[in-house]
Amino acid sequence: MILDVARHKLFEALITLVAFALATTVCTIAMPSSIDYSGGVAPLGALIGDFQQSNNILATIIGFVLVIHLSMMATRATVRSHLYVSNSFAVMSIMPLMLMMLMTPRSALATIVVALLTAEAMRRLFYAFSSQRRKNAVFTAMLALGTLPLVDCSLLVVVATMPLIVIALRCSLRDLIIAVTGMLLPIFIYAYVVWCSGGAFGEAIISLYDAMLAPSTLAVDSYLTLPRIVSCSLLLLMGIGSVVLYMRRRMSMTLAARHIWRFMLSAVTLLAVAFALLPSTTESSYVVVAMLVCVMSPMLLLQLSTLVAVLIYVTMMGFAIAAL
């Protein structure tokens, strides 16, 4: 059954992915809208917002390709890492649905870029936890995460929390140095470019920090509509159920899979608390946390009966479509 996403065959998962990716990008990017980018003074975010406004058809095509790419990349990472009791392509169907429920037209392309960078970082970190040769994977993962504040300033908090997660996971001092270097390098390059353009080197970094603490332009009352709240609540419940199942069955998993689950739990907890306390939270902030929850969710869906799993997915799909 094509709606039983936990037990999808690859062809069924691809059909679902293409359909939701097309619907999401057309409804949020291709439709004419008044774009007011919410990423503060983020330099790449402003450029992406201007590109979306002036070339919405090309931006739609790019967004469509990126959604497919990031969803397949995240799915491949979960399959290679053996995160569930049996392999599943469910992430390929849940990820575009999550983007559908959380994205808004004003910053759709920038949000997709944030999701792409997050998926790339997850893929690299999953490999780092599964391999003894982790040095290169850790650096490139943190390089992707360090680029996030240049797209959305509220994500500067990721730079502060991720090294703490590396410490909590008992990585070596070398891994910590590599992680911090990779995260700070994009911000350093941005400050260097500003300095070469005649600005102050430290002022660029201070502007990112000030934007992270500034009130968000995202209108929470209008953003958190009933369909969006219900669909996000269903995704959250699936994530919580998956965590409970993981705690019960973690000893039957590989050591690398347990390391990855501990990383995801640490990241979701720290980032959710940080974004709840920050005044600058945007759609991209929700997407970063929700992507980790999407990766966890198949653990629960695989243990449910086909009927229950289909009902949950169809309900979430209906409210996600209503949230567009």
Residue 40 has pLDDT above 60, yes or no: no
- State pLDDT tens for residues 176-217: 888 888 889 999 999 999 999 888 888 888 888 888 888 887
- State pLDDT tens for residues 98-136: 999 999 888 899 999 999 999 999 998 888 877 666 667
CA count, 13 A, side-chain hemisphere, 172: 10
Instruction: Report how far residue 104's alpha carbon sits from residue 126's, in angstroms, rounded to the nearest whole number.
Output: 29
pTM for this entry = 0.92
Angle between helices 255-277 and 108-130 (to 10 degrees): 150
pLDDT of amino acid 233: 93
Instruction: Report how far residue 142's alpha carbon sits from residue 136's, in angstroms, rounded to the nearest whole number.
Output: 10
Residue 288 has pLDDT above 90, yes or no: yes
